[in-house]
Structure 1
Amino acid sequence: MTSSETKSVRAGYGYALGAYSLWGFMPLYFVALAPASSLEILAWRIVLSLVFCVLILLATGHLQRALAVLRDRRSALLTAAAGVLILANWGIFVYATQTGHVMDAALGYFINPLVTALLGVFILRERLRTAQWVALALGVVAVTVLVVGYGEFPWISVGLAFSFGFYGLVKKGLGQMPALTGLTLETVWVTPLAVGLLIWIALTDGLAVTSEGAGLVMLMSLAGAVTSIPLLLFASAARRLPLATVGLLQYLNPILQALVGIFILMEPMPIERWWGFAIIVVALGVFIGDALKTRGLTGR
């Protein structure tokens, strides 16, 4: 590995840790927006993220260059796919935080690295070692335990895991596209839907930002930055690290979310949820232990 490649990998680790740390504490932000509905928050996230990205592109003089990417059919299709996937992920996550399911969201992001690793194997032809396959199998067992013990399919957890797993895969397919350009184009595709949602909410129940006072307006105005910054960090990490490594590092996110859910938001933890989380933690231990062992053998 050359010196420049080593620096790129190190930067990738830094970007990934920054993204996952910010996501770990993000439930607290959306809980603070509680007067607004999940749909209104989702719509504002999209619109304000686009505004945030466009302002940065204008300030750096790169807006025209970013929009020019849409002339390439492959890039246009991939950014559209990424936009749909991140829209689904955002919507599920906001709903989870607004309805007292932060622990379900945390479980989803515990499962996501396993989904990411599977996508790397079956679509990108990345190879997994025996220990990594064991970790994946344990993840399947954990979901099964939750389904059987909890009495219903954990659709929030699985929805988050697969939507973000495929999002990471699409971002990998965009190659060296600048992170800011990618996020801008993704939000461009879904902004019409977001604007339509805001108009519909305004005409029916009314927008919370127009009726709940200046405090909510100020908090909501941060949605663009709160949403965009960790995504930009994640995109930068995905371009510099193997997909399996990106998935492994993501465990920091659900660990922090679980701590927030248990100790700050005081969500209930029935026994089946403890068992499911315990099995996932074992899978995490196997995954990390194998990674550390391999790194020691290779000297990397």
Structure 2
Amino acid sequence: MSGSGGKGSAPATVGPAVNPRLDRRGLLATGLSFLSWGLLPLYLKLLASVPVFQVMGHRVIWACVFVFAWLGLRGQLGAAGRVFRQPQALSKLLLTAGLISVNWAVYVWAVADGHVVDASLGYFINPLVSVMLGVFLLSEKLNRWQWVAVSVAAVGVIWLTVQLGHPPWAALALAISFGLYGFVRKTVAGVDSVAALAIETVLILPFALAWIGFEAWRGQGAFGHQGPAMDALLVLSGLVTAVPLVLFAYGVRRIPLSTVGLMQYAAPTLQLITAVLLFGEPFTHVQLIGFACIWAALVIYAIDGFVRGRAPKPAASVQAAEAA
């Protein structure tokens, strides 16, 4: 998620066999990552006096520093270096770096401009966007109830568009950029998630440094001009960006994906609560109806997945599995 800022779409590399249902550390790490993304607006609100693209630049710069420091402490710098000898993986990570940059920038803007409710909507929509990407880009087939879920979600978006007079651009930008990010990331084979994040930040780093340098040259740079507390917050924004992604990469390898799928809604739920109760953003009946459609779609999709997951396998499939 961005912001979540880049939250959770990073695919996990296959690790040693672990009993996922008993791994409490994996559950804790994943839970902490979603908790961090859910409370991220509180942190970004402290940076509201800093222009959006400067916040974005500092997030990239300091996240890059912290991620490479982490890899160095674990003796895994070579994993990141090897990616530069894999042109196909590198080209895909260049694309994901661009997508996550868009996602982070829109999310920072949404918090600064009082649109955290819209941001939370984006991350509620995101799973269904991923479903549609599978349909259009992978020719995946949906069953009747999955189509019902997607249709109900579409009704919610159309309702908001008609009532507000425009599409919920921030929500759609976050959902689509993060959905595409996760889709492309899943095709990057043989690269550890944390190493991939390191490469993404390196690829964005020149642009971040150039922008921060340009703003400083113009005399508009926030760093060093808004006090040591603000400087510390800008530096720590990299840690706030990197740590949840590292926790997620660790945890998602150790617990069932179905559990991850249910836990992911904690982040936008916390964002919505924060926006309405702490930031005082309006949550009108119009928005409630739109959100209710999205929530209903997610419930339908989750129940369908649960039922299909518990359905007995065809005899032929069972025999094939036993023969293997």
Considering the TM-score relative to the shorter chain, is it more than 0.5? Answer: yes
Closer/same/farther in 2, CA of residues 241 and 149 from structure 1, 3 Å limit: farther
Mapping for residues 261-300 of structure 1, pairs under 5 Å: 261-297=275-311
Deviations 1:268-287 (A, max 9, x none): 12322111111111112212
Partner in structure 2 of residue 209 of structure 1: 223
Deviates more, 1:42-51 or 1:138-147: 138-147
Query: Residue type matched to 1:260 in 2?
Result: T
Q: How far 1:18 moved relative to its partner? A: 3.5
Q: How far 1:126 moved relative to its partner? A: 4.7
Query: Residue type matched to 1:224 in 2?
Result: G
Q: Secondary structure of the residue that 1:208 maps to in structure 2?
A: coil
Closer/same/farther in 2, CA of residues 141 and 248 from structure 1, 3 Å limit: farther
Q: How far 1:92 moved relative to its partner? A: 0.3
Does the 8 Å contact 2:135/2:142 carry over to 1? yes
Deviates more, 1:280-289 or 1:119-128: 119-128
Q: Answer 1 or 2: which has greater helix percent.
A: 1
1:227 aligns with 2:241: yes
Query: Residue type matched to 2:20 in 1?
Result: K
Q: How far 1:214 moved relative to its partner? A: 1.4
Q: Give the one of 176, 188, 212 matched to 2:202.
A: 188
Partner in structure 1 of residue 99 of structure 2: 85
Partner in structure 1 of residue 317 of structure 2: none
Structure 1: gaps of 5 or more residues: none
1:146 aligns with 2:151: no
Query: Residue type matched to 1:257 in 2?
Result: Q
Does the 8 Å contact 1:115/1:161 carry over to 2? yes
Mapping for residues 31-70 of structure 1, pairs under 5 Å: 31-70=45-84
Q: Distance in 1 between matches of 2:181 and 2:256?
A: 15
Q: How far 1:241 moved relative to its partner? A: 8.4
RMSD across aligned positions (CA): 2.7
Give identity over the alignment, percent. Answer: 35
Query: Residue type matched to 2:149 in 1?
Result: A
Q: Give the one of 265, 290, 293 matched to 1:251.
A: 265
Query: Residue type matched to 1:49 in 2?
Result: A
Larger radius of gyration: 2
Q: Distance in 1 between matches of 2:54 and 2:221?
A: 7
Q: Distance in 1 between matches of 2:28 and 2:136?
A: 27
Closer/same/farther in 2, CA of residues 101 and 236 from structure 1, 3 Å limit: same
Closer/same/farther in 2, CA of residues 245 and 83 from structure 1, 3 Å limit: farther
Q: How far 1:293 moved relative to its partner? A: 2.6
Q: How far 1:242 moved relative to its partner? A: 9.2
Q: Distance in 2 between matches of 1:14 and 1:273?
A: 33
Does the 8 Å contact 2:121/2:291 carry over to 1? yes
Q: Distance in 2 between matches of 1:94 and 1:200?
A: 20
How high is the TM-score relative to the length of structure 1? 0.89
Does the 8 Å contact 2:20/2:255 carry over to 1? no
Q: How far 1:164 moved relative to its partner? A: 0.3
How high is the TM-score relative to the length of structure 2? 0.83
Q: Distance in 2 between matches of 1:237 and 1:114?
A: 23
Partner in structure 1 of residue 43 of structure 2: 29
Q: How far 1:259 moved relative to its partner? A: 0.8
Partner in structure 1 of residue 214 of structure 2: 200
Q: Distance in 1 between matches of 2:147 and 2:258?
A: 12
Deviations 1:205-255 (A, max 9, x none): 522221211111122221111101222344456778898986664322211
Does the 8 Å contact 2:19/2:254 carry over to 1? no
Q: How far 1:133 moved relative to its partner? A: 2.0
